Amino acid sequence: MAVIEARGLGKSYGTRRAVDDLSFTVHPGSVTGFLGPNGSGKSTTMRLMLGLDRGEGRTTFDGRTFAELEQPMRHVGALLEAKPFHPTRQARHHLQMLAVANRIERRRVDEVLELVGLSAQAKGRPRKFSLGMGQRLGIAAALLGDPHTLILDEPSNGLDPQGITWLRQLLRHLAGEGRSVFVSSHLLQEMAQLADEVVVVGRGRLLTSGPVKDFVEHGGTAEVLLRTPDLGVLAPAIVAAGGTLTPDDDGLQRVTGLDAARVGDLAHQHGARVHELTVRRATLEEAFLNATGLDEEYRGAITADRPAGEAGGAR
């Protein structure tokens, strides 16, 4: 099982720096989410990793670049664009051609069709496929060589909620078998459930990388929501204990700096009545927005679990 090591990746389009000195590591046995605003260089990075774009830097899969791999489809499976297949060639034939060209047993074609839920459409022509079905065929092609490493650019594009759940289970299963899975997605809530690690980029540069849990804890703000008719008593106690209160529109106080147990204990000590005490955990979306410094306009464009295509301005 391969460690992916990307080192010093870089690429310019004219004067525009699409990817700039980007280095990160993807570990086997984990799903690593690749996050960044639109145009931050994710697709370019993935192409650079596979040597499909000319640029700077080097990516190795257990020490070897993609070009150095013998039978690369057996090592690295990639999904880079939505419909990279002939529109009128049957889905099964498309996979069979790939299998033959890469010396992969033909029976694997039926296995991957089954795996992605396309067995019934094996004779269908991609021209008539929905975006989601096209994505499934692309994922089948990526899995054809039973590779230990997967690089998937927006694989959930076009999938319905059921499809997204299926994909999550599939990728978790593949990572559970010890494979390295590197996947970009705009669906941040989905990514929070899927990824173990994240690599976050902005304007082509690395903003952060590491366990998703750490990223959310450090990048988001956990809050305690408090409703009390005795705020006059409790608020000074909370402030004295190091907390900060911000009133919400509907009479709630948002408390930061103290956990719910501490707020509850303070209420008890000061004889204050509490009508509501709720923990609001930090979210990946919040950490992402903070890390990337996206402005309010952008906040409207990328939201949790709304396909980018619906979000306006995305692909």
Ligand X SMILES: Nc1ncnc2c1ncn2[C@@H]1O[C@H](COP(=O)(O)OP(=O)(O)OP(=O)(O)O)[C@@H](O)[C@H]1O
Kindly state whether residue 303 participates in binding ligand X, applying the rule CB under 6 A: no
Is residue 12 within the footprint of ligand X (CB under 6 A)?
A: no
Q: How far apart are CA 4 and CA 26, in angstroms?
A: 5
What's the min distance (Å) between Cβ of 44 and ligand X? 3
Amino acid sitting at position 198: V
By C-beta, is 44 or 180 nearer to ligand X?
A: 44
Listed ranges 13-21, 90-98, 115-123, 215-223: which one lies at the site for ligand X (CB under 6 A): 13-21
283 binds ligand X (CB under 6 A): no
Please state the closest distance from residue 42 (CB atom) to ligand X, in A. Answer: 3
Contact status: 315 vs ligand X (CB under 6 A): yes
For ligand X, which residue of 36, 147, 202, 220 counts as binding (CB under 6 A)? Answer: 36
Residue nearer to ligand X on the CB measure, 39 or 257: 39
Min separation Cβ 153 and ligand X, Å: 7
**CA-angle at 129, arms to 127 and 134, nearest 5°:** 100
Question: Which residues in 55-89 are b (16+ Cβ under 10 Å) and which e?
Answer: bebebbbeeeebeebeebbbbbbbbbebbebeeee
Taking the complex as a whole, how short is the minimal distance between the CB of residue 95 and ligand X, in angstroms? 26
The minimum distance between CB 202 and ligand X, in angstroms, equals 10
At closest approach, how far in Å is the CB of 176 from ligand X? 27
Is 42 one of the binding residues for ligand X (CB under 6 A)? yes
Cβ closest to ligand X, residue 178 vs residue 313: 313
Q: Looking at beta carbons only, is 42 or 108 nearer to ligand X?
A: 42
Q: Which of 4, 6, 9, 18 binds ligand X (CB under 6 A)?
A: 18
Contact region with ligand X (CB under 6 A), list: 37-45, 54-62, 159-167, 237-245: 37-45
Q: What is the binding site for ligand X (CB under 6 A)? A: 13, 16, 18, 36, 38-44, 314-315
